[in-house]
């Protein structure tokens, strides 16, 4: 059977794009897509993938955090996007009304959805999750701690099976404000850090041993967070993925540039019940508040909703099933990419 879609692109080596590459490879294997990788792009430092489909349609897969094409204000970025992007179909991870209202001429804009990083199938270079893993993989001191350094989509997936122990999970990181120059970005990081620290401390106090939470082993630490650092044996990727599957309730907070963090997508892939700060960006498909996740805005609201879930196991089970179904219809890499390609036919 002749493939339905011919897709040509330059390979951009970014973990943000691993879902897209994996989806194309899975679709290629079953004969739906023909892929032509022309070269590896070494000059592009932003996780945007330009794909020419059927020698006619220009697709852009944008996995940036927020409105972050250039250094500058939101207005500066929207102007850049409006005047410099050329595409027929633009799929934006951080999609909202501003993105659609400022769309370039003759460009159709859609939400791409959640993302998380893993090693894609196919002949792609190895991707590493962070510089710590990359630097330590050849270091004998750390080598014994890493039984596994490469993770594939199967490592993230799990069935909607509640654990007998109602564990609550919130393992996260802090961001160093001094890594950025703009005052508004420094303040954003300080706010994110405070929110995460407050949530961890409140959950520790409220739920005791039923709560698994703290800061990544290699996270930036400030004075008020030093006692929240978790051991590397828990926060390393292999252990973290296992802890997700053992936890019925997983907590997510807003990421940089108001983005939906990678952990949120990992929770959905593992079919967990999710509590999250309000999502600032759109998600495709039938992903809905109170169906796939509960929202909290303040610590007391988080505590109350965790207690509600702990008392209502049937709600946990329903949410797990909803997230399992959503993952397999919208977030799984082959479905995510196929749903974008089908927009061609929807708009004919």
Q: Which domain holds residue 236?
A: 145-331
Residue 201 in any domain: the answer is yes
Provide the pLDDT for residue 127. 59
Do residues 90 and 154 share a domain? no
**Could you tell me the end-to-end alpha-carbon distance of the chain, in angstroms, rounded to an integer?**
23
Nearest-angstrom CA–CA distance, 62 and 107: 14
Question: Which pTM value belongs to this model?
Answer: 0.93
User: Token digits for 310?
Assistant: 């702990």
Q: How large a percentage of the chain has pLDDT more than 70? A: 93
Mean pLDDT of the chain: 92
Do residues 237 and 303 share a domain? yes
Provide the pLDDT for residue 223. 77
Residue 132 in any domain: the answer is no
Does residue 53 surpass a pLDDT of 70? yes
Do residues 24 and 102 share a domain? yes
Do residues 247 and 314 share a domain? yes
Do residues 187 and 256 share a domain? yes
Provide the pLDDT for residue 18. 95
Do residues 342 and 323 share a domain? no
* Among the listed residues 76, 78, 63, 83, the one whose alpha carbon sits nearest the alpha carbon of residue 20: 63
Give residue-wise pLDDT tens across range 142-172. 445 556 788 999 999 999 999 999 999 999 9
* Among the listed residues 128, 115, 120, the one whose alpha carbon sits nearest the alpha carbon of residue 62: 115
Give 134's strand partners.
none
Residue 303 in any domain: the answer is yes
Do residues 324 and 187 share a domain? yes
Residue 134 in any domain: the answer is no
Mind spelling out the 3-state secondary structure of the chain? CCCCEEEEEEECCCHHHHHHHHHHHHHHHCCCEEEEEEEECCCCCCCEEEEEECCCEEEEEECCCCCCCCCCCHHHHHHHHHHHCCCCEEEECCCCHHHHHCCCCCCEEEECCCCCCCCCCCCCCCCCCCHHHHHHCCCHHHHCCCCCCCCCHHHCCCCCCCCCCCCEEEEECCCCHHHCCCHHHHHHHHHHHHHHHHHHHHHHHHHHHHEEEEECCCCCCCHHHHHHECCHHHHCHHHHHHHHHHCCEEEECCCHHHCCCHHHHHHHHCCCEEEECCCCCCCCCCCCECCCEEECCCHHHHHHHHHHHHHCHHHHHHHHHHHHHHHHHHHCHHHHHHHHHCHHHHCC
Residue 135 in any domain: the answer is no
Provide the pLDDT for residue 147. 67
Do residues 120 and 156 share a domain? no
Give the torsion through C-alpha atoms of 286, 249, 241, 231, to 10 deg: 150
Do residues 224 and 255 share a domain? yes
Do residues 118 and 187 share a domain? no
Do residues 193 and 297 share a domain? yes
Q: How much is the average pLDDT of 221-233?
A: 87
Provide the pLDDT for residue 124. 77
Do residues 168 and 297 share a domain? yes
* Among the listed residues 100, 103, 65, 101, the one whose alpha carbon sits nearest the alpha carbon of residue 84: 103
Residue 226 in any domain: the answer is yes
The CATH number given to whatever domain includes residue 237 is: 3.40.50.2000
76-85, 220-229, 240-249, 266-275: which range is least confident on average? 220-229
Tally of domains in the chain: 2
37-51, 100-114, 159-173, 257-271: which range is least confident on average? 37-51
């Amino acid at each position: 059977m002749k493939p339905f879609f011919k897709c040509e692109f330059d390979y951009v080596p970014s973990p943000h794009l691993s879902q897209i590459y994996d989806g194309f490879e899975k679709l290629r294997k079953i004969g739906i897509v023909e892929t032509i990788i022309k070269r590896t792009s070494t000059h592009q430092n932003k996780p945007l993938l330009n794909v020419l489909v059927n020698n006619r349609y220009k697709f852009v897969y944008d996995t940036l955090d927020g409105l972050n094409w250039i250094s500058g204000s939101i207005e500066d970025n929207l102007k850049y996007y409006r005047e410099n992007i050329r595409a027929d179909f633009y799929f934006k991870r951080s999609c909202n009304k501003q993105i659609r209202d400022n769309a370039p001429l003759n460009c159709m804009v859609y939400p791409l959805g959640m993302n998380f990083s893993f090693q894609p199938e196919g002949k792609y270079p190895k991707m590493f999750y962070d510089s710590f893993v990359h630097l330590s993989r050849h270091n004998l001191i750390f080598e014994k701690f890493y039984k596994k350094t490469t993770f594939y989509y199967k490592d993230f997936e799990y069935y909607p099976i509640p654990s007998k122990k109602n564990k609550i999970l919130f393992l996260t990181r802090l961001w160093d404000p001094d890594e950025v120059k703009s005052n508004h970005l420094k303040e954003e990081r300080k706010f994110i850090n405070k929110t995460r620290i407050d949530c961890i401390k409140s959950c520790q106090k409220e739920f005791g041993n039923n709560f698994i939470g703290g800061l990544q082993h290699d996270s930036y630490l400030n004075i008020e967070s030093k006692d929240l650092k978790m051991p590397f044996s828990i926060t390393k990727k292999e252990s973290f993925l296992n802890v997700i599957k053992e936890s019925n309730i997983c907590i997510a907070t807003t990421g940089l540039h108001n983005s939906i963090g990678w952990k949120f997508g990992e929770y959905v892939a593992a079919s967990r019940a999710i509590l999250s700060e309000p999502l600032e960006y759109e998600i495709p498909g039938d992903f809905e508040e109170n169906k796939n996740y509960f929202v909290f805005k303040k610590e007391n609201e988080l505590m109350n909703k965790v207690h509600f879930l702990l008392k209502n196991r049937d709600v946990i089970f329903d949410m797990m099933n909803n997230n399992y179904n959503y993952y397999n219809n919208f977030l799984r890499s082959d479905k995510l990419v196929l749903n974008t390609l089908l927009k061609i036919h929807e708009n004919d």
